[in-house]
Amino acid sequence: MNTLGLLQTSALFVLTAVAEIVGCYLPYLWLKKAGSPWLLLPAALSLALFAWLLTLHPAASGRVYAAYGGVYIVVALLWLRWVDGITLQATDWLGAGIALIGMAIIVSGWKAAI
C-alpha cells in the first residue's frame, strides 16, 4: 500500500471510529446521564454512518478490522480525554502505542493480501 493509500485508510479508520463511538455514547447519555430520548435519533444515524463507512474499507476482512481496532483504541482514548475530560495516564499512552505497533505489523502484510 502506498503512502497516500495508507493516509486515506487511516483517515477512514478515524472517521469510522468516531461514528462508532458517537453512536454508542449518545445512548449512554440517555440511559445513564438522564439525557433526552431524542439522543437516540443521532445515535442511530451515527451507527448507520459507521456501518456505511465499514463498506469503504480496503477489504472486508479480519485483517482490515484488526488494524481498525488499533486506531479505534487511540480514538477512544482521545475521546476519553477530550469529551469526558479524563486525564490519560502513561499506561493509556503505552497501550495505545502498542496497539498502533500491532496495527503497523498487520498493515505491513497487506501488500500480499489486498
How many Å from the N-terminal Cα to the C-terminal Cα in the chain?
9
pLDDT along the chain (114 residues), means of 10: 79 95 97 96 98 84 83 96 97 96 83 56
Per-residue pLDDT, 60: 66
Q: Enumerate the domain spans of the chain.
A: 3-113
Per-residue CA distances from 60 to 38, 49, 54, 66, 73 (Å): 32, 16, 8, 11, 20
Query: With a threshold of 0.85, does the pTM exceed it?
Result: yes
CB contact burial 41-65 (16+ within 10 A = b; e otherwise)? eebeebbebbeebbeebbeeeeebe
Residues 6 or more apart in contact with residue 47 via CB below 8 angstroms: 19, 20, 23, 24
Per-residue pLDDT, 1: 63
Per-residue pLDDT, 66: 83
- Span 35-54, pLDDT tens digits: 999 999 999 999 999 999 98
